[in-house]
Chain A
Amino acid sequence: MNNIFAKRRARLLAMKAIRDHHAAGETAVTCPKCGQMSDRKQVAQELSVCPKCGYHFPIGAYYRLSTILDPGTFRELNEKYPAGDPLSFPGYHAKQEQAQRKTGLNEAVVTAAGAIGGHKCVVGVLDSRFFMGSMSAAVGEKITLAIEYAGKNHLPLILFAASGGARMQEGILSLMQMAKTSGALARFAEKGLLYISVLTDPTTGGVTASFASLGDVILAEPGALIGFAGPRVIQQTIGQTLPEGFQRAEYLEEHGFVDAVVPRIRMRETLIQLLRLHEKGGHT
């Protein structure tokens, strides 16, 4: 009988060897920045950062949350908040459903209550795979609800921005979200609570011009494009060549718009440190 299991073990090992060999061809990832190939596993270990040049690959909202939150503390807020189509914009509804199927997201933002290093907090993450993370009425509302939830429960708030700006298909209603989220943050600030804004690639348009720039502490991921209008538009408008690294996270840090550029791998510990420092009384 032992023989049976020994034989099975040998066969399973042989299967694994073939599988691994087979998978080897599919495990390389090419970095769009440096063009070098890296092992997928190694890239995954570095939280989707190119091990050669430090390029930060775009990542999804749920994955981002899993790299930040303490395991098992994630509790999504307003998960089922429906995506709307207030202007009955032609073709918009179908595009939304397509994006929902592709990403498994309901809208471009995921908001959650959880803990980071034991500190309870509220975290919102924009997902650039969903309409380029643009701010629709639903996104604005979910962010506002998250801000209000944090305010009501006296919790620190962390928002990860990754956005192309306002959602075109929702017209003026999406622009209104800028005022709404800013207003909610003002009321949040009056309570003396901490808001950390993290800017990831890209943070542009109406999101930069509203909640993303209102953080008490503003962090950014290396190499992230951060701005209102894109560099090409500016260049064409002012007719001048833009300086090297213009609108990149490091440039903005140098010029005082960003407090610190934090690599993804150090984001969690940085947040833990900030949350600890800002806890009531500031005891460490």
Chain B
Amino acid sequence: MLKRILIANRGEIALRILRACRELGIETVAVYSEADAEALHVQLAGQAVCIGPARAADSYLNQGALLTVAKATGCDGIHPGYGFLSENADFADACAQEGLTFIGPSGEAIRKAGSKSAARDLMRAAGVPVTPGSDGPVSCVEDALAAGERVGYPVLLKASAGGGGRGIRRCDSAEALPSAYAEARAEAKACFGNDEMYLEKLVLRPRHIEFQVLADRFGHVLHLGDRDCSVQRRNQKLIEEAPARCLTPRLRAEMGAAAVRAAEAVGYENAGTVEFLLDSDGEHFYFMEMNTRIQVEHGITELVTGVDLVRQQLRIASGLPLEIAQEDVQLKGHAIECRINAEDPAKNFQPCPGKVEFLHFPGGAGVRVDSCLYNGCTLSPYYDSMAAKLMVHASSRLEAIRKMRRCLEEFALEGFPTNAELSYQILYHPVFIRGACTTAFLDDHLPELLDFSRRLSESGADA
């Protein structure tokens, strides 16, 4: 078992890892930027080391500093969390070279899964369905036009190295393609330093269904069921649930098997997520991408399976075999997560972090809150605006929805606006209640939801 690990992250995920470590008797070293000196993960860690100024590139992305601290503090492993260096293959390799265990897959597996066009080829070879598109990258506009002609419009142009919704352009016709191609390519170059593009058919009104997988060093791979993350805006998820209501048992088994094949194809080890698009016909699914890290929404899978994913990550990285087999994985009840972000939906979701003047989290049976906030702390403007994750677990979906509504009613945060009320309204929306949300849901219904808030302000109730 690992003895002491460095947590190369911040916020609630640093806390989540820290908690798992304490339960396993692993010592922890937290790192922080100058902006995070007061952060909760710093306060609760065994020891904490400042690694640089606020800017992420100088601190949480500073590989040299992280490795130096890890070695100086006698760590034998590094947990990257999500975001930052979690899917950086070079960092995983650098850890290995320094004799540190990178708690995640090998650099090679990250590379295989991370390059989107290479991953598509790999998946096709492994028998995992992928969306029809260009076979491999497109090198020029003519290639892109030819591929677009073949698969039919609308199409998506995507940067091979992309993520977080950048370097992606939708294109409805051949006429619009050349300019979109140039734009996306420039954006990819600027954001990722790599302008390799590929093209695929745009599946209209799909659902975003993802499967959690776990793989150990001994070639055991299993999946822990699915999550429906269709309630999203510009690829930023807002509400997630597990299991997905739209899957028949047969389809769930089929997609789960495909997810396992996908993980096997890249030689995966540790926890990962295979994302699929489920077509609006509810039958065809396509591999979208593989996330080679723990995810923000891992908690709902933990709730319905009873498996502690971070604990499993640490065990796997320590070279231990999986504690469970696929037959042991039973999905019990239904879990929902709402991400509470410091952003103002009325002002185009502009991030608005600030000082927490007052904070009250919901509690009670079947409620879990993962957050790095405490009364009086300041949510830093330098990093992402997520303030808390509220999760509920109940025996049925409707019960879970009711529980989450109750939680959002109880939740109180004074100091800055959040999206909590928007989520609360979504939980009352008939489309959501029916479980009929596609990834287009939020875009389609946002004006209506915001209009609700506007009328609320007019009715005189204070925010």
Contacts and interface: CB of A to CB of B under 8 A. Distances in A.
Interface of A: 1, 4-5, 7-8, 10-15, 17-19, 22, 26, 80, 97, 100-101
Contact of B461 (A11, A19, A80): A11
A13 B248 CA distance: 38
Contact of A10 (B421, B452, B461): B461
Given A4-B412, A18-B459, A101 B428 contact: no
Contact of A18 (B248, B360, B409, B452): B452
B248 A100 contact: yes
A12 B462 contact: no
Contact of A11 (B452, B455, B462): B462
B249 interface: yes
A131 B360 CA distance: 51
Contact of A19 (B246, B428, B460): B428
Given A11-B461, A18-B452, A101 B412 contact: no
B462 A101 contact: no
Given A19-B428, A100-B248, A14 B412 contact: no
Nearest to A26: B430
A119 to B, nearest CB: 26
B414 interface: yes
Contacts of A13: 461
B412 A18 contact: no
Given A11-B462, A14-B461, A101 B248 contact: yes
B283 interface: yes
A1 B358 contact: yes
Given A15-B424, A17-B459, 19 more contacts: A7-B462, A8-B409, A8-B412, A10-B462, A11-B456, A11-B461, A11-B463, A13-B461, A14-B456, A14-B459, A15-B425, A15-B456, A18-B455, A18-B456, A22-B452, A26-B430, A80-B249, A97-B283, A101-B282
A40 B461 CA distance: 29
A168 B409 CA distance: 52
Contacts of B283: 97
Given A11-B462, A19-B428, A5 B249 contact: no
A52 B462 CA distance: 43
A10 B409 CA distance: 11
Contacts of B360: 4
5 contacts: A1-B358, A14-B461, A15-B421, A97-B248, A101-B246
A12 B409 contact: yes
A15 B457 CA distance: 10
A129 B246 CA distance: 18
B398 to A, nearest CB: 13
Interface in B236-266: 246, 248-249
Interface in B422-463: 424-425, 428, 430, 452, 455-456, 459-463
B425 to A, nearest CB: 8
B222 to A, nearest CB: 21
A148 B412 CA distance: 56
Contacts of B455: 18
Enumerate the 8 nearest inter-chain pairs by beta-carbon distance, A residue then B residue, closest first: A14-B461, A11-B461, A14-B459, A101-B282, A7-B462, A10-B461, A12-B409, A4-B412
Contacts of A10: 461-462
A18 B421 CA distance: 14
B404 to A, nearest CB: 14
B293 to A, nearest CB: 33
B414 A4 contact: yes
Contacts of B462: 7, 10-11
Contacts of A7: 462
Nearest to A5: B412
Q: Which of B283, B414, B461, B463 is most buried by chain A, counting CB atoms within 10 A of its CB?
A: B461
B281 to A, nearest CB: 9
Contacts of B452: 15, 18, 22
Nearest to B463: A11
A4 B456 contact: no
A22 B456 CA distance: 12
A105 to B, nearest CB: 11
Nearest to A102: B282
